[in-house]
């Protein structure tokens, strides 16, 4: 089964054939502001200079620091750090793809705290309520915004 990066790259290929909309999912509590290390935060947030290779290098650095037990010392995210970094990387890929393929709408969404099996159905939104925001993005017109993060149906900051 392909990972998120492979799926994003697949959409790049589809772009040549038809108009495509890409909607990625992230957790509302994961954004660049929560990364303690300023150099890491600044680099991921430098959308103008961010490349696919650099995102991958940052993730490799994270994995090496994880193996070495150096996450906190090196300024990475703390609790459930691998999950949070995977979501931060998806946010970075959203920005990268939107910049690389301006003819494709690429946005990320946090649908809210939805009741699911993974959280023991402790969320506050039903599945139907949680689906409203991703469907909203999926139905944007071709001239809609791209490269943005949405929390529910509102644009939020990286």
Q: Which residues pair with 125 in a beta bridge?
A: 114
SS3 state of residue 37: coil
**What's the gap between Cα 32 and its chain centre?**
10
The model's pLDDT over 64-90, given as tens digits with 9 standing for 90+, comes to 999 999 988 888 877 778 877 888 888
Residue 1: the pLDDT is 47
Catalytic annotation, pick one of 32, 83, 93, 136: 83
Domain range summary for the chain, segments of one domain joined by +: 4-155
* Span 44-66, average pLDDT: 89
Indicate the CATH number for domain 4-155.
3.40.50.720
Active site residue 83: yes
pLDDT at 39 over 80: yes
Number of residues that make up the chain: 158
Average pLDDT, whole number, for the chain?
Answer: 80
pLDDT at 17 over 50: no
Distance CA 23, CA 8 (A): 10
State pTM to two decimals: 0.73
């Amino acid at each position: 089964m392909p990972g998120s990066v492979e799926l994003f790259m697949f959409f790049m290929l589809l772009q040549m054939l038809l108009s495509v909309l890409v909607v990625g999912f992230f957790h509302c509590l994961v954004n660049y502001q929560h990364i303690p290390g300023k150099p890491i935060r600044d680099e991921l947030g430098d959308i103008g200079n961010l490349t696919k290779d650099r995102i991958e290098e940052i993730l490799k650095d994270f994995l090496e620091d994880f193996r070495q037990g150096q996450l906190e010392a090196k300024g990475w995210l703390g609790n459930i750090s691998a999950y949070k970094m995977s979501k931060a990387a998806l946010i970075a890929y959203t920005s990268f793809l939107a910049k690389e393929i301006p003819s494709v709408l690429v946005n990320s969404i946090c649908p809210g705290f939805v009741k699911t099996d993974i959280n023991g159905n402790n969320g506050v939104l039903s599945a139907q309520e949680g689906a409203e925001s991703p469907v909203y993005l999926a139905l944007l017109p071709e001239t809609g915004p791209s490269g943005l993060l949405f929390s529910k149906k509102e644009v939020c900051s990286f």
